Structure 1
């Protein structure tokens, strides 16, 4: 069985801004790559969010076949790749101790 590996995050810039810091704390990080098996087409989507305190941040959603990921800035210094987990709505993601709905 032939397995194709696809490049999911080729130099994807991730804004490291969560609801807590100041605009002066904005930083950018790059993820080199993340490969997943399969022939399905990669679907990417960036969604901008705004907190009650006015802070803005962007979450990048990556879907390929049965794999669904979300790249979420959880603080000014930490961005994690969340994996989709089983839930009634199908929109729940987890990364270690963190949950993203």
Structure 2
């Protein structure tokens, strides 16, 4: 009987975790000013879709999928263009071009996504 109860609890926990992961991120203290989705075509033939969010307190975020993981990138200071970081990755845009870097890769490694060009709207 205890084993059946434990399996039932484990099943409910898995369902809860799955539904919790699907819930949108809401931070009441940070209010969205604008959201825009841009699609990029990259040199290697891959396409990436990035959702940019600007907030009323002048923060910027970029949401994109890297290696099957949906990540929220935060804008950080850059010498030119806009640089966003999440986990070990950097998404760097300059005008309509962008590159995705793995900061844990060897120093001379090429970008994960290189020479990505924003599609015209």
Output the TM-score relative to the length of structure 2. Answer: 0.51
Which has the higher Rg, Structure 1 or Structure 2? 2
Across the aligned residues of Structure 1 and Structure 2, the Cα RMSD in angstroms comes to 2.2
Q: Relative contact order (C-alpha < 8 Å, sep 6+): which is higher?
A: 1
State how many pairs are aligned.
71
Superimposed CA distance per residue, residues 35-76 of structure 1 (whole angstroms, 9 cap, x where no aligned partner): 1525x652101010112222212000000022110001112x
Q: Whose helix fraction is larger, Structure 1's or Structure 2's?
A: 2
Q: Runs of 4 or more off by more than 2 Å in structure 1?
A: none
Match among 77, 81, 96 for residue 72 of structure 2 = 81
Q: Structure 1: any 5+ residue segments left out of the alignment?
A: 1-28
Q: Structure 2: any 5+ residue segments left out of the alignment?
A: 1-20, 93-121
